[in-house]
Structure 1
Amino acid sequence: MKLTMEQRIALHGFNNLTKTLSFNMYDICYTKTKEEREAYLEYIDEQYNAERLTSILKNVSDIIGAHVLNISKQDYEPQGASVTMLVSEGPIAGVPSESFDESPGPVMQSVVAHMDKSHITVHTYPEYHPDEGISTFRADIDVSTCGEISPLKALNFLISSFDTDIMTMDYRVRGFTRDIKGHKLFIDHEISSIQNYIPDDIKSLYDMIDVNVYQENIFHTKCRLRKFDLNNYLFGYTKEALTEEEQRLITESLQWEMDEIFYGKNIM
């Protein structure tokens, strides 16, 4: 039974459940020459520098109703960036009933909720294959909250903030809280799949698989972009500049790379 504003269970004290969303995305690009690779990495470092990532995380904090206490950010050499935010509870003005629904959150709007001290982090990892023309960009974001709203409500916004070929999402609820009679509650909202927090128009673009351990309140979803257009993976030119054989070989190389990332293993 879903919890509504009228049906919410009265708790003894503060909601001590910890809810953590880990959002991991990959962008893949074919960079044939050293110059192309350097240009791609420069583009990524500019597009997802510490300042831009800070803006993304501030929007996430608004969505989950948090106050930012402290920000630590860093651009790295030769590439990559990190941002860490400590956040505290936002104003308590009543938690909206949709906070408990298995449905996508906003792309960007303020949602007032009750949270305790929590954190939001992002780390980026641009990298490239030493000799096979593949460059990848990975971003890892963790949103950890205590209180009544799930960080899954920020998932829709996170997806919209990145150009993503492959996404991996993990959600886990830890600890317990008590109702007014002292009974332990190990989760305070229903969830059957992370997919239910992703809009239908986004889901239609991806092949998706779930691995869920319901008795442990652990939920895992992987997504891989369905449509493959070689032009989206070439940096600075289009496939018309390539021979048909070059197009075939590059397509095979890119799809091999995506298969290995999606399935999490080397394919021999």
Structure 2
Amino acid sequence: MNLTHKQIVELHGFNNLTKSLSFNMYDICYTRTTKEREAYLNYIDEVYNADRLTKILTHVTEIIGANILNVAKQDYIPQGASVTILVSEGPVDETPVEAFEESPGPIPGSVIAQLDKSHITVHTYPESHPDDGISTFRADVDVSTCGEISPLKALNYLIHSFETDVMTIDYKVRGFTRDVTGHKLFIDHDINSIQNYIPEEIQELYDMIDVNVYQENIFHTKCKLKQFDLNNYLFHHKKEELTAEEQAIITDRLKLEMDEIFYGKNIYDGVN
């Protein structure tokens, strides 16, 4: 049975390794009034409702070669949605070499894999600042697979499925499996960065930082859009409708929001 594209190792029974991908995306918007803020949150709830999210996760199951066992979905009041899909696939004779190569996955496609006891979930979190006009939308997607293939193959599709200003991506291989001699294997494929699964055209759009703990098979990548166009962040109006001073203030607020999310801390309080 293939464990990497470089070696063949015969396992004792099923591959019990669990690979977990956590994909967190943030969309940031400036809403000038309470009415605009409510309209933005309603727009997000409509675009990323439970039905739309179910379609996205269904494509993810196709990409990783899984079968859907059960779907649970919910639209919340006043906002937000969740979808959980339990997935499984029985043993296959051979997993393709492509399943172990560090390369972007399809948009979408399918990869044959051996999967069991696996799940895919998404939760959304629309929210807004109490008084400075900033509104944000966060979606958390978790893909956990038990078997040979990495859920990182679905990452390319997930990036294309959301409008993303900031992304944080975590990948962890947990547990162990055994070869026929009883020797434990704590990872079954080569990886040195999540970025290897992100296509070059996407990497060119983002500033990216890796924080990896190789000895623990923990990989973390965070990404922030390089280019900033104020018109992309104004809801229902254009920057030409604003004074130069208003444009500067709003730009500073938006960039501060993105920086704080990217670095995971409050840079400073009391910004105008």
If the length of structure 1 is used for normalisation, what is the TM-score? 0.97
Query: 2:212 maps to what in 1?
Result: 212
Deviation at residue 61 of structure 1 after TM alignment: 0.6
Query: 2:245 maps to what in 1?
Result: 245
Deviation at residue 128 of structure 1 after TM alignment: 0.3
1:98 and 2:98 matched? yes
| Contact 1:93/1:113 (<8 A) preserved | no
DSSP-derived class of the 1:70 partner: strand
Instruction: State percent identity of aligned pairs.
Output: 74
Q: Partners in 2 of 1:8 and 1:45 — Cα distance?
A: 47
Q: Partners in 2 of 1:183 and 1:93 — Cα distance?
A: 22
Query: 1:120 maps to what in 2?
Result: 120
Q: Partners in 2 of 1:38 and 1:93 — Cα distance?
A: 53
Query: 1:134 maps to what in 2?
Result: 134
Query: 2:36 maps to what in 1?
Result: 36
Please, which runs of 5 or more residues in structure 1 have no aligned partner? none
Deviations 1:190-214 (A, max 9, x none): 0000000000000000000000000
If the length of structure 2 is used for normalisation, what is the TM-score? 0.96
1:267 and 2:246 matched? no
DSSP-derived class of the 2:102 partner: coil
Taking the TM superposition and a 5 Å limit, the aligned residue runs for 1:34-73 are 34-73=34-73
Q: Partners in 1 of 2:7 and 2:215 — Cα distance?
A: 23
Q: Partners in 2 of 1:83 and 1:241 — Cα distance?
A: 39
Q: Which amino acid aligns with 1:235?
A: F
Deviations 1:166-207 (A, max 9, x none): 000000001110112211100000000000000000000000
| Contact 2:60/2:157 (<8 A) preserved | yes
Q: Which amino acid aligns with 1:151?
A: P
Q: Partners in 2 of 1:149 and 1:109 — Cα distance?
A: 14
Q: Partners in 1 of 2:237 and 2:93 — Cα distance?
A: 52
1:167 and 2:163 matched? no
Deviations 1:17-40 (A, max 9, x none): 000000000000000101110111
Q: Partners in 1 of 2:8 and 2:52 — Cα distance?
A: 38
Deviation at residue 7 of structure 1 after TM alignment: 2.9
Q: Which amino acid aligns with 1:118?
A: S
Aligned residues: 266
Deviations 1:76-129 (A, max 9, x none): 011100001111115725311111111111111121111111110000000001
Q: Partners in 1 of 2:89 and 2:236 — Cα distance?
A: 45
Deviation at residue 8 of structure 1 after TM alignment: 2.4
Q: Partners in 2 of 1:158 and 1:90 — Cα distance?
A: 25
DSSP-derived class of the 2:212 partner: strand
Q: Which amino acid aligns with 1:236?
A: H
| Contact 1:210/1:221 (<8 A) preserved | yes
In the superposition, relative to structure 1, how do residues 56 and 90 fare at CA in structure 2: closer, same or farther (>3 Å)?
Answer: farther
Query: 1:3 maps to what in 2?
Result: 4
Q: Partners in 2 of 1:112 and 1:103 — Cα distance?
A: 16
Query: 2:185 maps to what in 1?
Result: 185
Taking the TM superposition and a 5 Å limit, the aligned residue runs for 1:145-156 are 145-156=145-156
Q: Partners in 1 of 2:204 and 2:185 — Cα distance?
A: 35
Query: 2:21 maps to what in 1?
Result: 21
| Contact 1:93/1:112 (<8 A) preserved | no
| Contact 2:91/2:115 (<8 A) preserved | no
| Contact 1:118/1:146 (<8 A) preserved | yes
Deviation at residue 3 of structure 1 after TM alignment: 2.1
The alignment's C-alpha RMSD in Å is 1.1
DSSP-derived class of the 1:266 partner: coil
The structure 1 segments of at least 4 consecutive aligned residues displaced by more than 6 Å after TM superposition are none
Q: Which amino acid aligns with 2:120?
A: I
